[in-house]
């Protein structure tokens, strides 16, 4: 029986090649895209689940409260871990880490120059040995036991291979972190085999951090987002216990922070999705999952529409089978078997498309949206579930319709299109398909428009042809070397202006905030203020404007300060001149306010402009800002690199153009845009395939009607409109359904930006015009072909 079903199914596919090709292609695209989306979703939900203590691992974070709102950071004070162990010895494990972004590793060479490696895509971390009791690692050689000692480190196998060309005989060798901290290698751990938020390539001992950073022991008054604390809990001490005792811990160790400071625990399962701490938005991942479901529904709609449309041509086959004794269940399973065969063929093609798509996405996506995909038992199980779901969605309704034909009516050719889901069902399905496509198109337009807006908006400073060069990450900069490099850099003919600053461009992505007291007011202000250390050339280089007072005088220490207009408004003052000559009390210093700078965006446009002060402090400059003459940038960069290596031979020359840096700060949004573009295109393609199939079927059914119309004088245009008018109506209905849904979704997304586009009627107009244009192109080809057919041929059999 099964063999017979398969033979009949194959013969029908061969007989109706066009419909089979459309169905297979549509399902393959839908299933392949769903597999890609599943791979992305799976990546995010499986982050770090390979750790045995996954359900008992927590990160302790910091939350500051103020009248202006809450500020969240994943960091804790440097002394937090030691204090927590002393106050709560019942906690199973406590481990402090300090992350190092893009570390520079120098390999001392006996002969020739030292080898230097800049881990631009990597991250390191100073760790306490207890870190390896919390997180699971496999060791190729050595281990973490000696990490109790200063000047020791462990490496990943990949890093050991890169630095030394081998993973054996590496124990005992020396590397220099940032060219100044000597580290003896005591262990090599296996490369990460699964998804992780802790992809550290080098892990020096926590005992080495003091030499690397200088004195960081400022009690509980200094919090850095890179300094973090992880714990494992058990029944002796739970998260609920910490929540009850946290206030007492704050009262004992930071009495001044009882009102405004808390240290909430965050489970490992929540870290990856913690947007307050730079994590990935769960809403984005859910949106991708919904898009995947939409694509499967769209592909299944194609199948249902074409299958029910074709039912008329198979009515006599059903009638004969019923007369010969076939039962309704037998016919149902025969047609379900045909659906299964088409779906399996489509799945085989989809797996091939997935492999191609996976490579393309890996090349074009970055950051949080990268993924890994292995055909593990769970993945295979999901794929089987997906295939069964597609077969059910696509096959059940057409199979019920075909199996339900009455044999007398089927054999006499009296089955009408209304009896096979003609008007109501097919139109409803096409409307659903168009609505999904229009939602995705509107999303595509909104995301693209918003990205264009944030990348072209006037940020209040100059950003073109400006290069930032990262200076060595040392506790205190050598002022003599700063002067030497400035003199060498300004001697380069292509260099127009030069300046030093703490964090590079005005919008660098790095911020530092502190409390303040204004002039003679009796107590601190109820808002914090951001700080930037700059030299006297900074404003001129970036085109920042002074609206009151004057610029800073050249100095190596902090004596006077500039503030921005937002600071003046926060004080409740209307005239910038009112703050000139007043004192700003910050970080234990009194700085005279000598000027007010016009507001500029210090952070990405998701965030409002914050109060800010700018002052000089040469030993805290970590970036050189270089404005270049337009022309041969590469020549200038080569000369700057040569001079940099002369002044800082143990450091690594890294540079970045400011406009590129700002563009990269919207990497997650750019990735989302690429994904929506890609999957919206797939959805439109699947919809067009189904539309083309329906028009092809309509042309076949209306062959004689078209012939009669032409004989009676109908024009080509009127015949083409015969096909187009019904789909035009469906597009309009679909738009009425899609528009409010798309508006609600994208309006929620735009709320994440402080500065955003106007979500007006123009976007909806573009979306419906795009849909109409694509549908018109799809419908017109086959309808024009039918309209141009010789009526003699179509009427010959009459």
Token pair for 208: 């080495």
Whole-number mean pLDDT of the chain?
82
- 96-105, 170-179, 778-787: segment of lowest average pLDDT: 778-787
Render the burial of 725-758: b for 16+ CB within 10 Å, e for the rest.
ebbeebbebbbebbbeebbebbeebbeebebbbe
Asked whether residue 798 carries a pLDDT value surpassing 50, the answer given is no
Under the banding of pLDDT at 50, 70 and 90, the label for residue 362 is low
Q: What is the pLDDT of residue 290?
A: 83
Under the banding of pLDDT at 50, 70 and 90, the label for residue 651 is confident
Angle at 638 between CA 632 and CA 644, to 5 degrees: 135
Q: What is the pLDDT of residue 151?
A: 94
Q: Taking the alpha carbons of 244, 245, 249, 251 in that order, is the dihedral positive or negative?
A: positive
Q: What is the pLDDT of residue 276?
A: 72
Render the burial of 421-460: b for 16+ CB within 10 Å, e for the rest.
beeebbbebbbbbbbbbbbbbbbbbbbebbbeebbeeebb
Cβ-based neighbours of 674, under 8 Å, separated by 6 or more:
364, 365
Length of the chain: 798
Q: Do 151 and 212 form a contact (C-beta atoms < 8 A)?
A: no
Under the banding of pLDDT at 50, 70 and 90, the label for residue 568 is very high
Supply the Cα-derived Rg of the chain in whole angstroms: 34
Q: Do 156 and 191 form a contact (C-beta atoms < 8 A)?
A: yes
Q: Which helix (H) or strand (E) holds 781?
A: helix 761-787
Q: Which one is predicted more confidently, 411 or 157? A: 157
Q: Do 379 and 43 form a contact (C-beta atoms < 8 A)?
A: no
- Give the residue-averaged pLDDT of 728-748: 87
First to last CA, the chain: 40
Q: What is the pLDDT of residue 328?
A: 67
pTM: 0.80
At 56-68, the pLDDT tens digits run: 999 999 998 876 6
Under the banding of pLDDT at 50, 70 and 90, the label for residue 216 is low
Q: What is the pLDDT of residue 342?
A: 82
Q: What is the pLDDT of residue 368?
A: 47
What is the rounded CA–CA span in Å between residue 35 and residue 382?
9
- Give the residue-averaged pLDDT of 219-240: 89
Q: Do 431 and 734 form a contact (C-beta atoms < 8 A)?
A: yes
**Residue 47 DSSP class:** T
User: How far are the Cα atoms of 98, 113, 136, 230 from residue 233, in angstroms, in the given order?
Assistant: 21, 48, 16, 10
HSE (side-chain half, CA atoms, 13 Å) at 45: 12
At 257-306, the pLDDT tens digits run: 888 889 999 999 999 888 777 777 777 778 778 888 888 888 888 777 77
Q: Do 771 and 735 form a contact (C-beta atoms < 8 A)?
A: yes
Residues forming a β-bridge with 549: 595
Task: Give the residue from 143, 239, 233 showing the smallest Cα distance to 188.
Answer: 143
Q: What is the pLDDT of residue 59?
A: 96
Pairing of strands 152-156, 200-204: antiparallel
Under the banding of pLDDT at 50, 70 and 90, the label for residue 224 is confident
At 109-158, the pLDDT tens digits run: 878 788 888 877 778 999 999 999 999 999 999 999 999 999 999 999 99
Q: Which one is predicted more confidently, 674 or 516? A: 516
Helix axis angle, 667-701 to 761-787, nearest 10°: 30
Q: Which helix (H) or strand (E) holds 585?
A: strand 583-586
At 628-642, the pLDDT tens digits run: 987 788 999 999 999
Under the banding of pLDDT at 50, 70 and 90, the label for residue 414 is very low
State how far Cα 539 lies from the chain centre: 33
Task: Tell me the three state secondary structure of residue 3.
Answer: helix
Token pair for 599: 């507001």
What is the rounded CA–CA span in Å between residue 403 and residue 423?
19
């Amino acid at each position: 029986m099964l063999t017979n079903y398969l033979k009949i199914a194959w013969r029908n596919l061969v007989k109706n090649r066009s419909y089979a090709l459309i169905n297979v292609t549509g399902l393959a695209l839908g299933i392949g895209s769903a597999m890609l989306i599943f791979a992305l979703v799976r990546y995010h939900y499986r982050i770090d689940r390979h750790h045995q203590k996954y359900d008992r691992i927590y990160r302790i974070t910091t939350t500051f409260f103020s009248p202006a709102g809450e500020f969240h950071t994943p960091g804790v004070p440097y002394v937090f871990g030691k204090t927590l162990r002393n106050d709560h010895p019942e906690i199973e494990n406590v481990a402090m880490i300090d992350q190092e972004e893009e570390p520079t590793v120098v390999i001392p060479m006996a002969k020739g120059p030292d080898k230097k490696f800049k881990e631009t895509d990597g991250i390191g971390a100073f760790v306490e040995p207890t870190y390896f009791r919390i997180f699971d690692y496999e060791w190729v050689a050595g281990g973490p036991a000696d990490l109790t000692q200063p000047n020791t480190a462990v490496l990943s196998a990949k890093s050991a291979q890169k630095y030394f060309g081998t993973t054996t005989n590496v124990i005992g060798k020396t590397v220099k972190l940032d060219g100044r901290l000597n580290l003896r290698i005591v262990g090599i751990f296996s490369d990460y085999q699964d998804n992780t938020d802790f992809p550290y390539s080098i892990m020096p001992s926590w005992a080495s951090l003091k030499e690397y950073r200088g004195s960081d022991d400022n009690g509980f008054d200094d919090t850095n987002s890179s300094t973090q604390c992880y714990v494992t809990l058990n029944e002796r001490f739970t998260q609920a216990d910490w929540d009850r005792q946290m206030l007492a811990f704050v009262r004992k160790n930071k009495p001044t922070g009882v009102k405004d400071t808390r240290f909430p625990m965050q489970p490992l399962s929540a870290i990856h999705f913690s947007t307050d701490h730079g994590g990935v938005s769960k809403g984005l991942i859910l949106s991708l999952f919904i898009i995947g479901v939409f694509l499967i529904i769209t592909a299944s709609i194609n199948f249902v529409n074409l299958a029910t449309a074709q039912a008329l041509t198979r009515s006599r086959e059903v009638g004969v089978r019923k007369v010969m004794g076939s039962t309704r269940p037998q016919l149902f399973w025969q047609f379900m078997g045909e659906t299964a065969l088409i779906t399996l063929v489509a799945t085989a093609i989809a797996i091939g498309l997935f492999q191609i798509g996976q490579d393309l996405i890996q090349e074009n996506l970055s950051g949080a949206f990268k993924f890994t995909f292995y055909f593990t038992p769970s993945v295979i199980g999901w794929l089987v579930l997906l295939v069964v779901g597609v077969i059910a969605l696509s096959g059940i309704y057409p199979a019920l319709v075909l199996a339900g034909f009455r044999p007398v009516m089927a054999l006499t050719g009296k089955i009408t299109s209304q009896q096979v889901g003609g008007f109501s069902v097919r139109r409803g399905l096409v409307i659903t398909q168009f609505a999904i496509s229009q939602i995705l198109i509107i999303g595509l337009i909104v995301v693209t428009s918003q990205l264009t807006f944030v990348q072209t908006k006037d940020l209040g400073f100059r950003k073109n042809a400006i290069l930032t060069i990262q200076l060595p990450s040392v506790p205190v900069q050598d002022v003599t070397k700063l002067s030497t490099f400035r003199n060498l850099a300004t001697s380069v003919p292509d260099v127009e202006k030069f300046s030093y600053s703490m964090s590079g461009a005005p919008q660098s992505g790095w911020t530092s905030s502190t409390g303040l007291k204004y002039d003679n007011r009796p107590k601190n202000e109820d808002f914090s203020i951001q700080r930037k250390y700059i030299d006297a050339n900074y404003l001129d280089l970036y085109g920042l404007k002074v609206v009151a007072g004057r610029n800073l005088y050249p100095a190596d220490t902090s004596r006077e300060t500039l503030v921005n207009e937002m600071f003046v408004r926060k004080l409740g003052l209307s005239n910038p001149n009112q703050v000139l000559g007043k004192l700003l009390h910050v970080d234990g210093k009194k700085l005279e306010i000598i000027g007010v700078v016009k507001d500029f965006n210090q952070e990405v446009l998701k965030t409002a402009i914050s109060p800010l002060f700018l002052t000089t402090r040469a030993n805290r400059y970590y970036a050189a800002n270089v404005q270049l003459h337009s022309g041969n940038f590469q020549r200038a960069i080569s000369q700057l690199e040569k001079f940099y290596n002369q002044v800082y031979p143990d450091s690594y020359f890294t540079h970045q153009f400011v406009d590129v840096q700002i563009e990269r700060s919207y990497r997650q949004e750019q990735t989302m845009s690429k994904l929506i573009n890609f999957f919206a295109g797939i959805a439109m393609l699947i919809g067009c395939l189904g539309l083309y199939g329906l028009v092809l079927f309509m042309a076949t059914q209306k062959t004689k009607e078209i012939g009669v119309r032409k004989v009676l004088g109908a024009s080509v245009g009127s015949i083409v409109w015969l096909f187009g008018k019904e789909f035009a109506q469906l597009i309009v209905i679909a738009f009425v359904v899609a528009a409010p849904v798309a508006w609600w979704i994208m309006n929620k997304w735009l709320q994440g930006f402080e500065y955003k586009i106007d979500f007006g009627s123009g976007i909806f107009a573009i979306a419906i015009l795009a849909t109409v244009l694509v549908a018109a192109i799809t419908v017109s080809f086959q309808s024009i072909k039918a309209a141009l057919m010789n009526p003699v041929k179509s009427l010959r059999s009459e």
